[in-house]
Chain A
Amino acid sequence: MRDTPLTQAHIGAKARMVDFHGWNMPVQYGGILEEAERVRTKVGLFDLCHMGRLEITGPDREALVNRVFSGRTAKLDHGRAKYGFLLNEDGYPIDDVLIYRDVDLMHIVINATGRDTDPAWVREQNEKSGFDAQVKDVSDDQAMIALQGPASEMTLQPLCGADLSALRYYGFLEAPVSGVDCLIARTGYTGEDGFELFFPKEHALAIWNDLLGSGRSLGIGPIGLGARDTLRLEAGMPLYGQEINLEIHPLEADLSFGLGLKRAGTIGIPALAKIKEEGYPRRAVSLNAPSGRVARPGCKVLKDGREVGFVTSGTRSPTLGTNIARALVEAEVSELGGTLDVEIRGKPHPFEVVPSPFYSRKR
């Protein structure tokens, strides 16, 4: 297992640690419900050093990004981020990523699971296309920390040399935090306001501790992967490997906002445009049950006893107090308000098909 620059801090804080795709990461410090509530009502701090980042430079950097990234970037302003996918030729995601468009470079933030595959894929396309672009994998040198929750700005502002109130959702800027030059993005994976910070990893512990100190009077606490997974699911955000993967494409996962389907020059887009034209048999749905058992990934979904799909993610929702899940089912049974059964440990449990997302914050 690999340690992040903060692993020892988590162990010191008595977090319960797990092997998360080869990383020694905290699953929870106190309780998942308590941590999730802290992010929804106050502010929480996340170690994301297991995630990766690529820097694309050179004259053809935009052409390369346009080739490998599913979303439209041509109209993306400098200092803005966009969600999308690295697609294979068949239109299936190799990963879901955020692109950050800077003046002279493009950043691609990738998942921990993509740290081996994504850089190799992007470099391969760069060579095949003969672009004059450089792909630098800075994952091993960089730290990534997220601050999420309504009190995020109040926590970060005293440490930061820029006016954060001017930074919009999905915008980013470069400014010092605790005297360290950081890339500060107003992005996140919880459905709350917040920031993601990128900076050289030797400063990880100092910035982590400064943020905990700055947010102390605001009720800050560190948040583990358990709460992170429930928060993102409540907010309707996909997890690569579950909602999307090499066998579930973004259209059926209801993630077409990450696609620019008119662009022929992007790998995988022509295949998805064809799939859209011809139609596809499965739909992602949101499921809700007031109580009872928690639906887990892989559970069968039944309609009148017939298997019609499977659960991709499920949890007890700390915010709603109900059991929520995402599932991929036959389109015919996906209408809102319908009832589907989730088979949990051999028994059917009724869930209602409800609108997505389960939770959205008031703005």
Chain B
Amino acid sequence: MADRPSDVQYTKTHEWVKVEGDEATVGITDFAVEHLGDLVFVDLPEVGQEIEAGGSAAEVESVKAVGEVMSPVAGEVTAVNEDLADDQGPLAAEPYGAGWLYKVKLSGTAEGMLDLAAYEQHLTTEEAAGE
């Protein structure tokens, strides 16, 4: 299991966001990666695209499932992780590092986010519910 960083915020739907000034980096958590299984494809937004908070921003596909990435934050996409197009390995290995998905220029604040402790508490309830 990847070490979960404490300098990012988490969602109940297993995304993470790291806010630095007016820019935010978005990815999915190690729990999401583990749950999806063998990854085969990542569909990312386009640079310049406006993304809404809570809207579908990306899709991460595994052999058996498609995981929708619900953007925790709103804003204009400034960069996407092109490396993941050909090789999803970094996402599987380093979901909080080289496996980041996209960056946005924030047009609002992230709301309803969990800190590390709250996210891990949320995971225990999900696991207790049989995933």
Contacts and interface: CB of A to CB of B under 8 A. Distances in A.
Given A16-B131, A32-B37, A226-B37, A294 B63 contact: yes
B63 A32 contact: yes
B38 A31 contact: yes
Interface string B38-50: 1011010000000
B63 A316 contact: yes
Interface in B88-131: 130-131
B100 to A, nearest CB: 21
Contacts, number: 38
B43 A33 contact: no
A212 interface: no
Interface in A183-237: 226, 230
A31 B66 CA distance: 16
Interface in A252-302: 291-294, 296
Contacts of B130: 17
B59 interface: yes
A345 B63 contact: no
Interface residues of B, number: 13
Contacts of A28: 37, 64
B102 to A, nearest CB: 17
Contacts of A111: none
B61 interface: yes
B41 A33 contact: no
B22 to A, nearest CB: 31
Which one of A27, A323, A345 has the greatest number of beta carbons of chain B within 10 Å?
A: A345
B38 A27 contact: no
Contacts of B43: 293, 345
Contact of B38 (A17, A33, A291, A323): A33
Interface in B31-83: 37-38, 40-41, 43, 59, 61, 63-64, 66
A142 interface: no
B67 to A, nearest CB: 12
A331 to B, nearest CB: 31
A230 B63 contact: yes
Contacts of B64: 27-28, 32, 226, 315
A226 B63 contact: yes
B87 to A, nearest CB: 11
A78 B131 CA distance: 48
Contacts of A345: 43, 59, 66
Contacts of A17: 130
Nearest to A225: B64
A294 B59 contact: no
Nearest to B68: A345
B41 A292 contact: yes
Contact of B41 (A32, A294, A315, A318): A294
Contacts of A33: 38, 63
B61 A293 contact: yes
A66 to B, nearest CB: 40
A98 B113 CA distance: 54
Given A16-B131, A345-B43, A294 B38 contact: no
26 contacts: A27-B64, A28-B37, A28-B64, A31-B37, A31-B38, A32-B37, A32-B38, A32-B63, A32-B64, A33-B38, A34-B38, A226-B37, A226-B63, A230-B63, A292-B41, A293-B41, A293-B43, A294-B61, A296-B66, A315-B63, A316-B38, A316-B40, A316-B63, A323-B40, A345-B43, A345-B59
Given A293-B61, A323-B40, 8 more contacts: A28-B64, A32-B37, A33-B38, A34-B38, A226-B37, A294-B40, A315-B63, A345-B43
